Amino acid sequence: MPELIKVRPTKIELVKLKRRLSLAQRVQKIVKDRLSILTMEFLQTARDTVEAKRKLLDELSKLYKALSIAVGYHGYIALEKELIATEADSEVTAGLRNIAGVRIPSFELMSNGKPMREYNMVDTSSWLDHSAQLSEECLKAIVELAELQRSFELLAMEINRTKRITNALEYIVIPRLQVTINYLNMKFEERDREEKARLKRVKVLVARG
């Protein structure tokens, strides 16, 4: 049973309580709408995260296989010598986007058109090209997963916070207001009944003279 709010039993207090109740219901409505949107986005992000993780693991396993074949073909030292001077810069654009009040990071791997392969194409085999191509795919998948994972965490935190507000409104604020309004209404009805009984009694006394 929700607690009663301590107020003076007056009509003005009743009006004030009714106003408070309508305001609380409006807040609850918007918070609930926000919660439903956040939940929808959260579920979508969770699904995407699982998919992205699976994709990344697949890509990594393919990459390791291709790389071990390339290492076997060229020899570790020769391959290291070939790759040591081939560091390519990759650019990631980072920004923010807003989902129902939650700021979500947005990452995108920028491709400048040329592949990240700056080793000597003459001295190396197609196995290395294949590994390089797979590593590019891996990099893309890592960036995508980073964005999704962070979004997932942020959305979960916001859902928790919003849920607390919704629960507070639904189970504490609004029921207390409703109970107090009911109590005041009953009190006023009781007062009316007492008043009527008193008037009847006075009428009888006056009639007896």
Buried b (16+ CB within 10 A) or exposed e, 36-65: eebeebbeebeebbeebeebbeebbeebee
Q: ∠168-102-170 over CA atoms, to 5°?
A: 15
**Shortest gap between Cβ of 155 and another protein (angstroms)?**
13
CB of 133 to another protein, least distance (A): 19
Residues that bind another protein (CB under 8 A): 12, 16, 19-20, 23-24, 26-27, 29-34, 36-37, 40-41, 44, 48, 93-101, 103, 106, 108, 110
Furthest-apart CA atoms within the chain: distance in Å: 128
Residue number with CB closer to another protein (82 or 108): 108
Q: Which is nearer to another protein, 161 or 201 (CB)?
A: 161
> What is the amino acid identity at position 68?
S
Nearer to another protein, 30 or 84 (CB): 30
Q: How far is the CB of 149 from another protein (least distance, A)?
A: 15
Closest residue by Cα to residue 145 from 72, 208, 52, 70? 52
Distance of closest approach, residue 97 Cβ to another protein, in angstroms: 5
